[in-house]
Amino acid sequence: MPAANPLQGYHVGMEDSITLRFLAAPGDVAADGTTVQAGRVLEWIDKAGYACAVGYSGGYCVTAYVGNVHFTRPIRNGDLIEVKARIAHTGRSSMQVVITVDAADVRSRQFKPAMDCILVFVAVDEDGRPRSVPAWTPTDEASERLARGIAGRVEARREIRDIMRAQEYTDAGTTPAERFRFLAAPGDVNWGGNAHGGIVMRWIDEVARACAMGWCGADAVAVYSGGIHFLSPIHIGDLVDLSARMIHTGPHSMHIAVHVRARDPRGGEWRDTAQCMTVFVTRNQDGHAAEVPQLALRTDEDRRLDAHALDLVRRRAALPALEFDVERTY
Protein backbone atom coordinates (compact mmCIF):
# COMPACT_ATOMS: atom_id res chain seq x y z
CA MET A 1 0.00 0.00 0.00
CA PRO A 2 1.37 3.47 -0.86
CA ALA A 3 2.03 5.79 2.05
CA ALA A 4 -0.65 8.34 2.88
CA ASN A 5 -0.55 11.31 0.54
CA PRO A 6 0.20 14.46 2.59
CA LEU A 7 -1.13 16.59 -0.28
CA GLN A 8 -4.60 15.07 -0.29
CA GLY A 9 -7.18 17.83 -0.04
CA TYR A 10 -4.55 20.54 -0.33
CA HIS A 11 -5.15 23.05 -3.13
CA VAL A 12 -2.35 25.35 -4.16
CA GLY A 13 -3.93 27.40 -6.91
CA MET A 14 -2.24 25.62 -9.82
CA GLU A 15 1.12 27.30 -9.38
CA ASP A 16 3.15 26.45 -12.47
CA SER A 17 6.67 27.34 -11.33
CA ILE A 18 8.95 27.19 -8.33
CA THR A 19 12.45 28.40 -7.47
CA LEU A 20 14.78 26.82 -4.92
CA ARG A 21 17.82 28.78 -3.74
CA PHE A 22 20.59 27.47 -1.48
CA LEU A 23 24.37 27.17 -1.12
CA ALA A 24 26.29 24.18 -2.47
CA ALA A 25 27.63 22.44 0.64
CA PRO A 26 30.83 20.47 1.32
CA GLY A 27 28.79 17.26 1.40
CA ASP A 28 27.76 17.83 -2.22
CA VAL A 29 31.24 17.80 -3.74
CA ALA A 30 32.84 15.05 -5.80
CA ALA A 31 36.13 13.27 -5.18
CA ASP A 32 38.10 16.27 -6.49
CA GLY A 33 37.00 18.18 -3.38
CA THR A 34 35.96 21.33 -5.25
CA THR A 35 33.12 20.65 -7.71
CA VAL A 36 29.65 19.29 -7.02
CA GLN A 37 29.03 15.73 -8.20
CA ALA A 38 26.53 15.32 -11.03
CA GLY A 39 24.47 12.85 -9.01
CA ARG A 40 23.79 15.52 -6.39
CA VAL A 41 22.64 17.97 -9.07
CA LEU A 42 20.27 15.30 -10.40
CA GLU A 43 18.78 14.99 -6.92
CA TRP A 44 18.25 18.77 -6.84
CA ILE A 45 16.40 18.80 -10.14
CA ASP A 46 14.13 15.95 -9.10
CA LYS A 47 13.19 17.75 -5.88
CA ALA A 48 12.46 21.01 -7.70
CA GLY A 49 10.57 19.26 -10.48
CA TYR A 50 8.53 17.23 -8.01
CA ALA A 51 7.61 20.35 -6.00
CA CYS A 52 6.54 22.09 -9.21
CA ALA A 53 4.46 19.12 -10.40
CA VAL A 54 2.61 18.60 -7.12
CA GLY A 55 2.10 22.34 -6.77
CA TYR A 56 0.43 22.44 -10.16
CA SER A 57 -1.56 19.21 -9.93
CA GLY A 58 -2.43 19.39 -6.22
CA GLY A 59 -1.50 15.79 -5.48
CA TYR A 60 1.07 13.05 -5.53
CA CYS A 61 3.20 12.55 -8.68
CA VAL A 62 5.86 10.13 -9.89
CA THR A 63 8.90 10.77 -12.08
CA ALA A 64 8.48 9.09 -15.46
CA TYR A 65 11.33 10.50 -17.53
CA VAL A 66 14.37 12.76 -17.36
CA GLY A 67 16.09 13.86 -20.53
CA ASN A 68 18.18 16.46 -22.30
CA VAL A 69 20.39 16.81 -19.21
CA HIS A 70 23.24 19.13 -20.19
CA PHE A 71 25.92 19.99 -17.63
CA THR A 72 27.32 23.22 -19.06
CA ARG A 73 29.76 24.33 -16.34
CA PRO A 74 31.08 23.02 -13.02
CA ILE A 75 29.33 23.99 -9.79
CA ARG A 76 31.76 24.70 -6.97
CA ASN A 77 31.53 24.26 -3.24
CA GLY A 78 30.02 27.43 -1.75
CA ASP A 79 28.31 28.59 -4.95
CA LEU A 80 24.84 30.06 -4.59
CA ILE A 81 22.50 27.70 -6.45
CA GLU A 82 19.19 28.57 -8.04
CA VAL A 83 17.06 25.71 -9.35
CA LYS A 84 14.06 26.85 -11.38
CA ALA A 85 11.27 24.48 -12.39
CA ARG A 86 8.31 25.44 -14.54
CA ILE A 87 5.51 23.63 -16.30
CA ALA A 88 6.00 23.78 -20.06
CA HIS A 89 3.50 21.24 -21.42
CA THR A 90 0.71 19.02 -20.10
CA GLY A 91 -1.01 15.86 -21.29
CA ARG A 92 -3.99 14.09 -19.78
CA SER A 93 -2.10 13.03 -16.64
CA SER A 94 1.47 14.11 -17.44
CA MET A 95 3.38 17.32 -16.88
CA GLN A 96 6.59 18.22 -18.68
CA VAL A 97 8.72 20.37 -16.42
CA VAL A 98 11.69 22.41 -17.61
CA ILE A 99 14.50 22.70 -15.08
CA THR A 100 17.40 25.14 -15.12
CA VAL A 101 20.21 25.15 -12.59
CA ASP A 102 22.26 28.34 -12.28
CA ALA A 103 25.25 28.95 -10.04
CA ALA A 104 26.80 32.18 -8.79
CA ASP A 105 29.88 33.09 -6.83
CA VAL A 106 28.37 35.04 -3.94
CA ARG A 107 31.04 37.72 -4.41
CA SER A 108 30.38 38.35 -8.12
CA ARG A 109 26.58 38.13 -7.75
CA GLN A 110 26.27 36.83 -11.31
CA PHE A 111 24.34 33.66 -12.06
CA LYS A 112 25.63 31.51 -14.90
CA PRO A 113 23.80 28.52 -16.42
CA ALA A 114 25.15 25.24 -15.08
CA MET A 115 22.58 22.68 -16.22
CA ASP A 116 19.23 22.36 -17.96
CA CYS A 117 16.89 19.46 -18.60
CA ILE A 118 13.32 18.23 -19.00
CA LEU A 119 11.45 16.07 -16.51
CA VAL A 120 8.14 14.33 -17.07
CA PHE A 121 5.92 13.65 -14.07
CA VAL A 122 2.68 11.69 -13.98
CA ALA A 123 -0.02 12.61 -11.48
CA VAL A 124 -1.39 9.57 -9.63
CA ASP A 125 -4.13 8.96 -7.08
CA GLU A 126 -3.85 7.18 -3.72
CA ASP A 127 -3.93 3.81 -5.50
CA GLY A 128 -1.08 4.77 -7.82
CA ARG A 129 -3.30 5.14 -10.89
CA PRO A 130 -2.88 8.08 -13.29
CA ARG A 131 -5.25 10.97 -12.68
CA SER A 132 -6.02 13.95 -14.87
CA VAL A 133 -4.28 17.30 -14.51
CA PRO A 134 -5.46 20.77 -15.57
CA ALA A 135 -4.41 21.78 -19.07
CA TRP A 136 -1.57 24.32 -19.07
CA THR A 137 -1.58 27.27 -21.47
CA PRO A 138 1.50 29.37 -22.35
CA THR A 139 1.27 32.95 -21.12
CA ASP A 140 3.84 34.67 -23.37
CA GLU A 141 5.80 34.19 -26.58
CA ALA A 142 8.83 32.65 -24.86
CA SER A 143 6.78 30.02 -23.03
CA GLU A 144 4.86 29.30 -26.23
CA ARG A 145 8.11 28.65 -28.13
CA LEU A 146 9.32 26.40 -25.33
CA ALA A 147 6.03 24.49 -25.30
CA ARG A 148 6.22 23.94 -29.06
CA GLY A 149 9.78 22.68 -28.79
CA ILE A 150 8.88 20.24 -26.03
CA ALA A 151 5.75 19.02 -27.81
CA GLY A 152 7.89 18.34 -30.87
CA ARG A 153 10.07 15.99 -28.84
CA VAL A 154 7.34 13.71 -27.48
CA GLU A 155 7.20 11.20 -30.33
CA ALA A 156 10.98 11.19 -30.78
CA ARG A 157 11.38 10.47 -27.08
CA ARG A 158 9.12 7.42 -27.36
CA GLU A 159 11.13 6.18 -30.33
CA ILE A 160 14.41 6.61 -28.44
CA ARG A 161 12.97 4.77 -25.43
CA ASP A 162 11.90 1.83 -27.58
CA ILE A 163 15.22 1.73 -29.44
CA MET A 164 17.14 1.70 -26.15
CA ARG A 165 14.94 -1.04 -24.68
CA ALA A 166 15.36 -3.19 -27.78
CA GLN A 167 19.14 -3.42 -27.38
CA GLU A 168 20.56 -6.63 -25.93
CA TYR A 169 23.50 -6.61 -23.54
CA THR A 170 25.04 -10.06 -23.14
CA ASP A 171 28.29 -11.66 -22.09
CA ALA A 172 29.42 -11.38 -25.72
CA GLY A 173 30.25 -7.72 -25.08
CA THR A 174 33.90 -7.05 -24.22
CA THR A 175 33.89 -3.31 -23.48
CA PRO A 176 34.42 -1.94 -19.93
CA ALA A 177 31.58 -2.51 -17.48
CA GLU A 178 30.76 -1.89 -13.83
CA ARG A 179 28.08 -3.30 -11.53
CA PHE A 180 26.70 -2.18 -8.16
CA ARG A 181 24.31 -4.17 -5.95
CA PHE A 182 22.72 -3.10 -2.67
CA LEU A 183 19.43 -2.92 -0.79
CA ALA A 184 17.20 0.14 -1.22
CA ALA A 185 17.23 1.78 2.22
CA PRO A 186 14.42 3.51 4.16
CA GLY A 187 16.20 6.84 3.69
CA ASP A 188 15.66 6.54 -0.07
CA VAL A 189 11.85 6.52 0.23
CA ASN A 190 9.39 9.02 -1.23
CA TRP A 191 5.80 9.67 -0.15
CA GLY A 192 4.63 6.69 -2.18
CA GLY A 193 6.89 4.23 -0.37
CA ASN A 194 9.29 3.86 -3.31
CA ALA A 195 12.80 5.11 -4.06
CA HIS A 196 13.01 8.79 -5.03
CA GLY A 197 13.66 9.42 -8.72
CA GLY A 198 16.51 11.72 -7.69
CA ILE A 199 18.09 8.97 -5.61
CA VAL A 200 17.91 6.55 -8.54
CA MET A 201 19.55 9.15 -10.78
CA ARG A 202 22.36 9.56 -8.27
CA TRP A 203 22.90 5.80 -8.30
CA ILE A 204 23.02 5.88 -12.11
CA ASP A 205 25.62 8.64 -12.05
CA GLU A 206 27.76 6.80 -9.51
CA VAL A 207 27.93 3.48 -11.38
CA ALA A 208 28.54 5.24 -14.72
CA ARG A 209 31.27 7.39 -13.18
CA ALA A 210 32.99 4.32 -11.75
CA CYS A 211 32.94 2.76 -15.22
CA ALA A 212 34.36 5.91 -16.83
CA MET A 213 37.10 6.37 -14.23
CA GLY A 214 38.15 2.75 -14.55
CA TRP A 215 38.61 3.18 -18.29
CA CYS A 216 40.38 6.55 -18.45
CA GLY A 217 42.39 6.12 -15.24
CA ALA A 218 41.45 9.58 -13.98
CA ASP A 219 38.56 11.47 -12.44
CA ALA A 220 35.57 11.78 -14.75
CA VAL A 221 32.57 14.10 -14.86
CA ALA A 222 29.18 13.78 -16.54
CA VAL A 223 28.42 16.29 -19.30
CA TYR A 224 25.18 14.80 -20.60
CA SER A 225 22.51 12.31 -19.59
CA GLY A 226 19.54 11.32 -21.70
CA GLY A 227 16.80 8.78 -22.02
CA ILE A 228 16.39 8.28 -18.27
CA HIS A 229 13.15 6.33 -18.40
CA PHE A 230 11.62 5.10 -15.15
CA LEU A 231 9.95 1.83 -16.07
CA SER A 232 8.74 0.55 -12.69
CA PRO A 233 9.17 1.59 -9.04
CA ILE A 234 11.91 0.40 -6.70
CA HIS A 235 10.44 -0.56 -3.34
CA ILE A 236 12.23 0.00 -0.07
CA GLY A 237 14.07 -3.21 0.82
CA ASP A 238 14.42 -4.31 -2.81
CA LEU A 239 17.73 -5.68 -4.02
CA VAL A 240 18.91 -3.13 -6.59
CA ASP A 241 21.21 -4.05 -9.47
CA LEU A 242 22.88 -1.31 -11.54
CA SER A 243 24.95 -2.24 -14.58
CA ALA A 244 26.97 0.24 -16.61
CA ARG A 245 28.70 -0.55 -19.89
CA MET A 246 30.81 1.76 -22.02
CA ILE A 247 29.57 1.36 -25.59
CA HIS A 248 31.27 4.20 -27.48
CA THR A 249 34.21 6.55 -27.17
CA GLY A 250 34.76 9.80 -29.02
CA PRO A 251 38.09 11.63 -29.01
CA HIS A 252 37.17 13.22 -25.67
CA SER A 253 33.99 11.42 -24.56
CA MET A 254 32.86 8.14 -23.02
CA HIS A 255 29.28 7.01 -23.73
CA ILE A 256 27.90 4.68 -21.06
CA ALA A 257 24.62 2.74 -21.04
CA VAL A 258 23.14 2.11 -17.59
CA HIS A 259 20.38 -0.33 -16.70
CA VAL A 260 18.68 -0.60 -13.32
CA ARG A 261 16.84 -3.68 -12.09
CA ALA A 262 15.26 -4.61 -8.77
CA ARG A 263 13.65 -7.57 -7.05
CA ASP A 264 12.62 -8.84 -3.66
CA PRO A 265 15.85 -10.14 -2.05
CA ARG A 266 13.94 -13.17 -0.77
CA GLY A 267 13.34 -14.30 -4.34
CA GLY A 268 11.31 -13.49 -7.41
CA GLU A 269 12.01 -12.22 -10.89
CA TRP A 270 14.19 -9.24 -11.73
CA ARG A 271 12.17 -6.34 -13.14
CA ASP A 272 13.55 -3.51 -15.25
CA THR A 273 13.18 -0.23 -13.37
CA ALA A 274 15.22 2.40 -15.26
CA GLN A 275 17.55 2.91 -18.20
CA CYS A 276 19.84 5.74 -19.26
CA MET A 277 22.60 6.83 -21.61
CA THR A 278 25.17 9.17 -20.11
CA VAL A 279 28.32 10.84 -21.44
CA PHE A 280 31.44 11.46 -19.36
CA VAL A 281 34.67 13.33 -19.97
CA THR A 282 37.91 13.68 -18.07
CA ARG A 283 39.50 17.11 -17.78
CA ASN A 284 43.08 18.26 -18.19
CA GLN A 285 44.84 20.77 -15.94
CA ASP A 286 43.26 23.66 -17.85
CA GLY A 287 39.78 22.29 -17.20
CA HIS A 288 39.17 21.24 -20.81
CA ALA A 289 38.05 17.80 -21.92
CA ALA A 290 41.10 15.58 -22.38
CA GLU A 291 41.61 12.79 -24.88
CA VAL A 292 40.45 9.37 -23.71
CA PRO A 293 41.58 5.87 -24.73
CA GLN A 294 39.55 4.48 -27.60
CA LEU A 295 37.51 1.31 -27.29
CA ALA A 296 38.54 -1.80 -29.19
CA LEU A 297 35.38 -3.21 -30.78
CA ARG A 298 36.15 -6.92 -30.81
CA THR A 299 32.74 -8.58 -31.19
CA ASP A 300 29.55 -8.11 -33.17
CA GLU A 301 27.84 -6.94 -29.99
CA ASP A 302 30.53 -4.32 -29.37
CA ARG A 303 30.09 -2.99 -32.91
CA ARG A 304 26.28 -3.07 -32.71
CA LEU A 305 26.21 -1.10 -29.45
CA ASP A 306 28.77 1.38 -30.77
CA ALA A 307 26.48 2.01 -33.76
CA HIS A 308 23.54 2.31 -31.35
CA ALA A 309 25.33 5.07 -29.40
CA LEU A 310 26.07 6.99 -32.60
CA ASP A 311 22.45 6.61 -33.71
CA LEU A 312 21.26 8.13 -30.42
CA VAL A 313 23.65 11.06 -30.88
CA ARG A 314 22.23 11.72 -34.36
CA ARG A 315 18.62 11.42 -33.21
CA ARG A 316 19.12 13.82 -30.32
CA ALA A 317 20.94 16.32 -32.52
CA ALA A 318 17.85 16.41 -34.77
CA LEU A 319 15.45 17.29 -31.92
CA PRO A 320 13.90 20.79 -31.83
CA ALA A 321 16.12 23.26 -29.98
CA LEU A 322 14.99 24.57 -26.60
CA GLU A 323 15.69 28.08 -25.32
CA PHE A 324 16.78 28.62 -21.73
CA ASP A 325 17.75 31.58 -19.58
CA VAL A 326 21.05 33.45 -20.01
CA GLU A 327 23.50 34.87 -17.50
CA ARG A 328 22.12 37.49 -15.14
CA THR A 329 22.92 39.30 -11.91
CA TYR A 330 20.88 39.26 -8.72
Question: Rounded CA gap, 218 and 231, in Å?
Answer: 33
If one compares 74 and 328, the residue with the highest pLDDT of the two is 74
Statement: residue 5 has pLDDT above 60: no
Residue 35, beta-bridge partner list: 76
Q: Which of 108-112, 132-136, 202-206, 246-250 has the lowest mean pLDDT?
A: 108-112
CB 122 within 8 A of CB 94: yes
CA 245 to chain centre: 17
- What pLDDT does residue 330 have? 47
**SS3 assignment, position 187:** helix
In the chain, what are the domains? 17-140 (3.10.129.10), 165-316 (3.10.129.10)
CB 68 within 8 A of CB 117: yes
Phi, psi dihedral angles at 165 (to 5 degrees): -70, -25
- What pLDDT does residue 325 have? 53
Question: Rounded CA gap, 58 and 124, in Å?
Answer: 10
* Residue 111: Cβ-neighbour burial (10 angstroms; 0-12, 13-18, 19+): buried
- What pLDDT does residue 310 have? 97
Statement: residue 26 has pLDDT above 80: yes
Phi, psi dihedral angles at 91 (to 5 degrees): -110, -155
Instruction: Give pTM, 2 decimals.
Output: 0.88
Among the ranges 2-6, 93-97, 224-228, 321-325, which has the highest mean pLDDT value? Answer: 93-97
Helices (H), the chain: 38-57, 141-151, 154-166, 197-216, 300-317
Band the pLDDT of 327: cuts 50, 70, 90.
very low
Q: Which of 6-20, 158-172, 212-226, 256-270 has the lowest mean pLDDT?
A: 6-20
- What pLDDT does residue 8 have? 41
- The conformation of residue 293, written as its DSSP 8-state character, comes to P
**SS3 assignment, position 36:** strand
Q: What is the DSSP string of 217-235?
A: SS--EEEEEEEEEE-SPPB
